Structure 1
Amino acid sequence: MPPIIPDILFNAGFCLISAFITCGIGFFVYALKPSSNVHRLFLAVMVLATYWATGEFFIWQASSLEGVEFWLRFSSFWPLTIAIGSHFILEFTGELQGINKKRNTIIIVCIYLTALLISVIGLFTGCLYTAAFSPEIGYYYLPVHENPFCLVGISYTAFIMLWAFLVGFISWRYTEPGIKHTQNSLLFAGIIITIFFGMLSGIVLPIFRIYIPNLVFIGFVFLSILIVYAMRHYGLFVLSPETAVPEIMKTMPDGLILVDSGGNIVAANESAENIFPSLKSSPAGISAESLVSPGNYGAIKDLITKKGEISDFEIGLPGKTTRYISVSGSVVRDRDGNPSGAVLIVRDITERKASENALRVANDKLSLLSQLTRHDISNLITALSGYLFLLDDKLKDPEEKLYLGKSIEITDRVMKQIEFSRSYHDIGLEKPMWKDLGEQISGAAESLVRGDVQIRLKIDPVLIYADPLVEKVFYSLIENAIRHGKKITEIVISTEEQEDGSLILRIKDDGIGISDEEKEKIFSYGYGRNTGFGLAFSRELLSVTGIEISENGVFGEGASFEIHIPKGVWKRRPGSADQG
């Protein structure tokens, strides 16, 4: 007769308690990263453990042999908990990564098929466990040791538990000191406790004919507590290669490095190891600043801390030949939104830098050649113009003077185009700067011969962020209005702040205007009755800082050029009163 275990197990109440704990932990971890295979497996383990614990609880609440047998069959899929648990441990520790895909599949299939076979036998037969009754204990169950299927089930359970122990031990033993090692230690401790309680009630106690509710669920409770502790203090399931870095990191052409809040590397992909050979032995635990120098890493960390991300931070790596890398990245946050590390994307840009240097040298040579060519042509055109003017004094024939006048006009246009090419060459050479809008427009207007055309300014005291040559834009727009407006008498230049924070600069005249079919063509190079470059030049120069220009006047009533200055590209002049 089995010995009496009075009230110590609180009528199997710990089974129900563990069911709630494991289920809650499982869904909490899954919610952290549903796309992670490790998280999905952990959820499956916890859900099956909950199912198993619930069945165990009702077995010990049964009031008849039939009730015990019913709940035994209900709980017959408990081996799947062990199978998925072993799969989770293999996936978490990365043991499957060192096995080829075919062999990997065979191992997993064998684990699940054996577990499924044992479950089916338990569901449809009484070969594994049988119901019993004792006046001292009540209704309980015990293994059918005489049946070979029962021995297979016990052997399978013992084998899987031993295997899980060895895998956990190897992963713990050979992981470099650091957060990952601590995570493995806590998980390994939980595995040992769970295996201990499982073997105690599943193998050891039955040998002495002691039958009590399965103590493995006490092990699950301890495992859950250790997992919560590891998550809270060591980033388990929050900052680890399996959860924080997607699977695609393994095949990324760029290096991907996961750094914890202390600046130590948690994981790195193969591309990162190719860039930094020191990572090939074992990246975990290596200080990130040792790869790029403390100064560079400090700058990267400060930018990520302030902005939450960094993009294209270039670093030169010393060596026999200098290599260049570009670093981008962003902060990694835990479930509560607190920073827990950073993801760094590293790209080798040595070839790109070499190409940029070659392109810069070529551009400098072309620029020098262009300047010399313009200078020589200008000198020749100036000399030609001088001879043409001398010739003009000597010619008396009206027809000859007409042809000579045309020649002088052509040389003037050539000179203007050379001047334009000089101005166009200067676009973007100097960094944009803040310019007083009123001063730029006034300067352009004063340098023009306006005749009887009046220019009225209704401009707010603002600064615009534009290319240093922006005054040429206003010169070109006013000069075009005077030249082509025909009946023009007035040009009104005004500003108007928009609801979205942008600013509209409007240059409007009362001339003949521009026809609808020409409103866009006038911004094309070569289009127009003069050089055909002024408005095209204006649009391109303004676009350097994102400023846009368009013509919205009514043909016959006058031209109206609207310059759209985005928010952030203009601001009130210091000391001026706020408007709008």
Structure 2
Amino acid sequence: MALFTLQVSFCLVSALITYGLGIYVYAKSPSSTVNRLFLAATLTATYWALGEFFLWQAAGYEGVAFWLKASSFWTLAVAFIVHFVLAFTGHPFAEKKNRGILVAALYLPAVLFALIEIFTDRIYTVAFDPVAGYVYLPVQTDLLCQTETAFIILVMLFAASVSISSWRRAQPGPIRRQNRLVSAGIAAVIGFGSLSGAVLPALGIHAPNLVFIGILVFSVVIAYAVHRHGLFVLRPETAVPEIIRTIPDGMILADMNGGIITANASAANLFGVAEADLPGRSVASLIPPAAYAAIMAAVTERGRLSDREAVLAGQGETVVSIAASIVQDPDGGNAGIVLIVRDITDRKAAETALRIANEKISLLTQLTRHDIGNLVTALSWYLSLIAEERTGPQSDACLASAIEVTEKISRHLAFSREYQEIGVHQPAWQPLEALIADAVGSLPDDGVSIVSSVAPVEVYADSLAAKVAYNLLENAIRHAGSLTRILITTEEQPDGSLVVAFDDDGGGVRDEEKEKIFTYGYGKNTGLGLALTREILAVTGIGIAETGTEGAGARFEVRVPDRAWRRPGEKGV
């Protein structure tokens, strides 16, 4: 009696442990096919174990018959275990293209036998044993029972052989140990299952199904493999589909004619096409003709291409880098082409900004060297005059001129320090409201009302962008005479650009000076502030112009291209 109680307890313990283990494994990687199959196997095994437990708790014929029928779908536990082993070892039957074969050879027979068990007594029947009471017995003389037994034995032996073969093929290390442990677990299930399915009934012994002892052993072995040897972590046989699905770069597998066979979600997002719509399309429909021709020529001639830049049609200014390589079949023939597509728009924008900055710094170096050279020549001349005629009538004027020249040199050097910072740091997305607030906070309080009414947007600009707002505000206050108010607004244009306008109520700018005020050295003060402003903006393609009316006030319009501004949360550049 104690042994019987222990055997029944194994059913319940097995149900609890397999359920918990299945949930744990699934939670490690819900998107993994192997993990999902393991969960399915453990859940059906739990269902089977609970059915067996309640069957042996039933007191009469009706109870035993009910739970016998209720647990008829135990055959699906076997099917899921076999499918799990095939997927775990990377067997060809587990591939998507062979799914129909797997369903026909494994799942349909399992469901068919379950339905036969529910609606007939030709496989299992309820009988009375003087010692054990009501029990269920296999109808060993019936062909259906014999067929089901043969099916279960064959598929489990097949799973065991696949697992053992994978173990023997694996190189020494964690993968080999994982396969060995899985094989041992399968062997335990087969061994204890054979005892209850064939050996004990042949000896006339009626007891709870010992297969649950095997399932319990299998669960313990799997738990040990998870904890000690990293089971269900990415493995060579199962990692590739998961990696392809999750990599941020677009991946396309095409035939030798450029017809897409499969592609990942990143590629679909990059090209703005639904993932399901990519198979069957031509690669040539997604990338520019010149780039496609160059790729096909390179892979045909050399077998691979490391980097080909292209601008995607219909994707604004999205720039991509495409790498491609020939995929060979097992016989060494060309089976297709794999393409890796990477969005390098941000990188190209930074490269362009750096190139422009270097060009402007080079120009500045030439201009500064020339201007300071002239100023030093003038300074030397004034100092020479002073040295020759220290007390003469012109000495004071020469001294004043020398001091003025020295101040100009100082201003040129200060401007150079600011200018050399342009493009040193990569442009970044910056909140427009914060840039203006910083600029306003840096200005002296001189009674001018500054009203900012800009949209909550971000602009892609050089790190000195705050200097732009400051220079425009400071320039207005310095030169606008009777200025009392400055209004800063934003307006989106039909072409997608954004105009940031600085309007004041001062005297305005004469028409003939509207462009000159942005040139180097022009102006009443240093002649450098607005020139610096234009150069900072130009790093990321932002323009500036004075569009006000003389006598009615100045208006500086900063025009931001559509790729250089965005609302918070949007993707830009």
TM-score by length of 2: 0.52
Shift of 1:454: 11
- Structure-2 residue corresponding to 1:514: 486
Shift of 1:193: 1.0
Structure 1 residue aligned with 2:109, among 114, 119, 142? 114
- Structure-2 residue corresponding to 1:167: 162
Is the 1:36–1:242 Cα contact (8 Å) retained in structure 2? Answer: no
- AA aligned to 1:124 is F
Output the CA distance in 1 between the equivalents of 2:239 and 2:184. 23
C-alpha distance after superposition, 1:16-74 (max 9, x if no partner): 22112212222222233333322222222112112211222233333333433222212
- Computed over aligned residues only, the root mean square deviation of the Cα atoms, in angstroms, reads 5.4
What pairs up with 1:20-169 in 2 under 5 angstroms? 20-96=16-92, 99=95, 101-169=96-164
Shift of 1:242: 8.3
Shift of 1:166: 0.9
- Structure-2 residue corresponding to 1:192: 187
Q: Secondary structure at the match of 2:78?
A: helix
C-alpha distance after superposition, 1:252-307 (max 9, x if no partner): 58599xxxxxxxxxxxxx99xxxxxxxxxxxxxxxxxxxxxxxxxxxxxxxxxxxx
Consecutive unaligned residues of structure 1, counting only runs of 5 or more, are 257-269, 272-322, 325-346, 383-417, 433-440, 446-452, 457-465, 488-510, 546-555, 562-580
Aligned residues: 370
What pairs up with 1:477-556 in 2 under 5 angstroms? 478-484=474-480, 486-487=481-482, 511-514=483-486, 520-522=500-502, 529=514, 531-533=516-518, 534-535=529-530, 537-538=532-533, 541=536
Output the CA distance in 2 between the equivalents of 1:542 and 1:368. 14
Is the 2:72–2:115 Cα contact (8 Å) retained in structure 1? Answer: yes
Output the CA distance in 2 between the equivalents of 1:514 and 1:355. 36
Is the 2:189–2:218 Cα contact (8 Å) retained in structure 1? Answer: yes
Is the 1:39–1:243 Cα contact (8 Å) retained in structure 2? Answer: no
Q: Secondary structure at the match of 1:35?
A: coil
- AA aligned to 2:486 is I
Output the CA distance in 2 between the equivalents of 1:56 and 1:526. 97
Is the 1:523–1:536 Cα contact (8 Å) retained in structure 2? Answer: no
Shift of 1:376: 12
Consecutive unaligned residues of structure 2, counting only runs of 5 or more, are 252-262, 265-305, 308-339, 376-411, 427-438, 448-461, 491-498, 519-528, 541-550, 557-573
Is the 1:427–1:469 Cα contact (8 Å) retained in structure 2? Answer: no
Output the CA distance in 2 between the equivalents of 1:469 and 1:227. 59
What pairs up with 1:469-480 in 2 under 5 angstroms? 478-480=474-476
What pairs up with 1:225-374 in 2 under 5 angstroms? 225-238=220-233, 240=235, 247=242, 249=244, 254=249, 370=363
Is the 1:467–1:544 Cα contact (8 Å) retained in structure 2? Answer: no
Q: Secondary structure at the match of 2:126?
A: strand
The 1:19/1:423 distance shift into structure 2, 3 A limit, reads: closer
Structure 2 residue aligned with 1:10, among 6, 26, 47? 6
Q: Percent identity?
A: 38
Q: Secondary structure at the match of 2:73?
A: coil
- Structure-1 residue corresponding to 2:422: 428
- AA aligned to 1:236 is L
- Structure-2 residue corresponding to 1:320: none
Output the CA distance in 2 between the equivalents of 1:128 and 1:469. 82
Which has the larger displacement, 363-372 or 148-157?
A: 363-372
Shift of 1:109: 3.0
Is the 1:132–1:142 Cα contact (8 Å) retained in structure 2? Answer: yes
Shift of 1:133: 1.9
The 1:149/1:373 distance shift into structure 2, 3 A limit, reads: same
- AA aligned to 1:190 is G
1:212 aligns with 2:192: no
Shift of 1:112: 0.5
